[in-house]
Chain A
């Protein structure tokens, strides 16, 4: 696995944990333990996301996204190193 893939896998792991817990909160809106876990994973996720976007390009489009980077950073269905 390349450095990019390892970093992306870490990001996917924490953001998936958050997504799963957030759907759980839809039916358990006051669950304190789940809220605490989401906060914990969010803290772990944010620096990794920043590092990824700084190094490999944007993960989502925002007002200040460089469009060149958006087009040219790897598309998720491509295998590493292929365009």
Chain B
């Protein structure tokens, strides 16, 4: 179950619309390394995770990513509010506008609609955690790239917050991988799939 909180995780108050920026930031809503992909990835992978620490981390981070998706939606919404047709055309936002007006649609910066092909749920905890580590770094690079094009502090501030969360999540997933391997056969982590094969955990550990 999920409970909604009627607030953003970090405030978004953008005074100046900027459709050019909105067109690139939308990629963190529904692009290849965006928040929707992140959330869907973690909340799907968690079901078959073999240890309680990993289930807890994926549940909590996957939930936080939903909050980040809401923040990106708020940023794009505020960046595209109250525009004239002339401003839309001048900023090159007309290609988005023609399909979605100023509605928030999950797509990449280049216009590719969101697809579940952006994520994997492999049913192998070692494999999935490596994907998660990579996903956090890819999102971090995307935020770094977005920041190259930002000159408005009202946009820079929440984007920096989101970038920082990628770094923290990377740290937590690293700890998850260590907790997992600490409980596997140290001579060969890959002898078994810890999500599928039984009895691959050390005797001292209960699932």
Contact = CB atoms under 8 A, between A and B. Distances in A.
Interface of A: 5, 8-9, 11-12, 16, 19-20, 22-24, 26-29, 57-61, 70, 73, 75-77, 79-80
Given A24-B172, A26-B60, A27-B176, A8 B11 contact: yes
Interface string B181-207: 000000000000000000000000000
A79 B168 CA distance: 29
A22 B8 CA distance: 18
A28 B12 CA distance: 32
Given A23-B61, A23-B172, 18 more contacts: A5-B11, A11-B7, A12-B7, A12-B9, A16-B10, A23-B57, A24-B172, A26-B53, A26-B172, A27-B53, A27-B176, A60-B3, A61-B3, A76-B6, A76-B7, A76-B70, A77-B8, A80-B13
A5 B4 CA distance: 19
Given A60-B3, A61-B3, A9 B11 contact: yes
Interface string B75-87: 0011001000000
Contacts of A29: 53
A59 B61 contact: no
Interface residues of B, number: 30
Contacts of A60: 3-6
B179 interface: yes
A70 B60 CA distance: 25
Interface in B2-32: 3-15
Contacts, number: 70
Contact of A23 (B6, B13, B14, B64): B64
A34 to B, nearest CB: 13
Nearest to B173: A27
B78 A79 contact: yes
Nearest to B60: A23
A22 to B, nearest CB: 7
Contacts of A16: 9-10
B91 interface: no
B7 to A, nearest CB: 5
B56 interface: yes
B7 A59 contact: yes
